[in-house]
Amino acid sequence: MPQPRIIIVGAGFAGLAAAKALKKTQAEVVLIDRTNHHVFQPLLYQVATSVLTPSHIATPIRSIFRNQKNTIVIMGEVTGVDKDQKCVFVSDADRQNVSITYDYLILATGASHSYFGHNEFAEYAPGLKSLGDAEAARNKILQAFELAEAEEDPARHRDLLTFVLVGAGPTGVEMAGALAILVRTALKSDFRRIDPTSARIVLVDAAPKILGPFSENLSKAAKQRLEKLGVEVRLGHSVDQIDAEGVIVAGERIASKTVIWTAGVAPSPAGKWLNIETDRAGRVRIQKDLTVPGHVEIFVVGDTASLDQNGKPLPGVAQVAMQQGRYAGKLIHSRIVGSPPPRAFSYFDKGSMAVVGKGFAVLQSGKVQVSGLGAWLAWAAVHLQFLATSSLRLGVFLQWIWTYVTGQRGSRLIVNHHGSDKGTRSAETPLGAAAASK
């Protein structure tokens, strides 16, 4: 009798957790992802601000599962699901819409940028969801200083060195803090015609406070820390327009050549694939065992799933994704071996944290609220723990120590993608390699 086939779509936190939970299951586990690597998304902003290199936070999926003999890795993009025929359709560089059948399906397809109905902003304000995004942001940030150094007119330096971050959640706050440290340390002495410390960093959000899920005290502490670092925090007003010349906030134009979107996210099209009920954000409404109504063999987990607990929807954070992925894997294992299934899924909140520049973070777990160096050390320990491999943990730890002590960054290279040089090299000079994207 052939072994059951379990297809997992997506190698993010949820997909990896599900696959690892099926390690000892007598089944064929097929893990499908658009790229060949798993990215530790919470540290993408550190690649964008030159603290870490892409290789510090990403690892090939195949290397993660090299000792898990029941798991097959396929690099391809899932374009649809046929619930009746129990198959997914996969496309790659060579083939289109290849049908692969399943006995169990776990959709862990994650999320992408959401511009809240203003998709025209995407051209001028790229987001931060992939290695390609992070490298593009790093290029844009570093190039702004190069352009300012080459600019003969000092009056233009201010606009070239104005950076606008739209969205004051954890990503925006962490990015703003890291960018402020970058201009104060690594770049401070590298230029002759400009003063990098004069850079203007503006963090914008329509909410009344930064770090919305955090307590008022921690939000206030984080805001004060950002302002101490020189970040201009503008709250209570949404962005009205983003174009090649900058942004318009509350009727005021902020001239900037570097705008980065750190606001909302949108789920994958899994709801459309399955043709079932979704919430207002487009996330698939799932049952307490993480399956979709009417199909006990289909699980949806992570950022593309909608599940209420204690009257509130679960947040789209890594801990939810990992716990859901692990639960889905254990439930499928119990069905295959015929053991009692686990109880209905219940998310255990281990707390939230955000780092705000060098040696400062905020941490909230239940009634515990901590800010400062202690929270920063806890943040560092937790993030190191959840990196995919021990080699990544060691590499990131050593780079963090080096950066903390010396102020020097892991990578300050401007890498031109797809041969997009703008006259900075002679015609016969070979170009750099293109970055991976997701």
Q: Is the pLDDT of residue 334 over 80?
A: yes
User: What pLDDT does residue 417 have?
Assistant: 60
pLDDT-derived band at 422, boundaries 50, 70, 90: very low
User: What pLDDT does residue 411 have?
Assistant: 85
Q: How many CB atoms lie within 10 A of CB 329?
A: 27
> Is residue 383 helix, strand or coil?
helix
Tens-digit pLDDT profile for residues 134-157:
999 999 999 999 999 999 998 899
Strands 284-285 and 104-107, how do they pair?
unpaired
How much is the mean pLDDT over the chain? Answer: 92
More confident residue, 51 or 422: 51
Share of the chain above pLDDT 70, in %: 95
R_g of the chain, CA atoms, integer Å: 23
Q: What is the dihedral of CA 140, 45, 264, 372, to 10 degrees?
A: -130
Q: Is the pLDDT of residue 278 over 80?
A: yes
pLDDT-derived band at 409, boundaries 50, 70, 90: confident
Tens-digit pLDDT profile for residues 215-253:
999 999 999 999 999 999 999 999 999 999 999 999 999
Closest CA to 234 of 258, 251, 217, 215: 251
Q: Is the pLDDT of residue 421 over 50?
A: no
Q: Is the pLDDT of residue 66 over 70?
A: yes
Q: Is the pLDDT of residue 14 over 90?
A: yes
Q: Is the pLDDT of residue 368 over 60?
A: yes
Percent helix / strand / coil, the chain, rounded to 5: 35, 25, 40
* Domains contained in the chain, CATH given: 5-34+76-113+265-337 (3.50.50.60), 119-263 (3.50.50.100)
Q: In the structure encoding, which two tokens stand for residue 335, read together?
A: 């069905």
Q: How many alpha carbons lie under 13 Å from residue 121 in its C-beta half-sphere? A: 27
First to last CA, the chain: 37
Beta-carbon contacts of 203 under 8 Å, excluding residues fewer than 6 positions away, are 165, 168, 172, 173, 176, 210, 226, 231, 232, 233, 234
At 204, phi and psi to the nearest 5? Answer: -120, 140
Stretch (H or E) spanning 202: strand 200-205
Q: Which residues are known catalytic residues?
A: 174
Q: Is the pLDDT of residue 432 over 50?
A: no
- E-assigned strands of 215-367? 231-235, 239-243, 246-249, 252-255, 258-261, 265-267, 284-285, 291-292, 295-300, 305-306, 308-309, 312-313, 352-355, 361-365
Beta-carbon contacts of 332 under 8 Å, excluding residues fewer than 6 positions away, are 6, 22, 25, 27, 104, 106, 299
Q: What span, in angstroms and rounded, lies between the C-alpha atoms of 408 and 187?
A: 9
Q: In the structure encoding, which two tokens stand for residue 398, read together?
A: 């050593």
DSSP string for residues in 100-146: EE-SEEEE---EEE--TT-GGGGGTS---SSHHHHHHHHHHHHHHHH
Mean pLDDT in residue range 285-293: 97
Closest CA to 127 of 166, 169, 161, 173: 166
Q: Is the pLDDT of residue 425 over 70?
A: no
User: What pLDDT does residue 155 have?
Assistant: 87
More confident residue, 189 or 363: 363
More confident residue, 410 or 388: 388
**DSSP symbol at 372:** E
Alpha helices by DSSP H, listed for 31-104, are 44-48, 54-57, 61-64
Q: What span, in angstroms and rounded, lies between the C-alpha atoms of 386 and 404?
A: 21
Q: What span, in angstroms and rounded, lies between the C-alpha atoms of 6 and 101?
A: 9
Tens-digit pLDDT profile for residues 107-125:
999 988 889 889 999 999 9
pLDDT-derived band at 418, boundaries 50, 70, 90: low
Share of the chain above pLDDT 90, in %: 83
Rounded to two decimals, the pTM is: 0.90
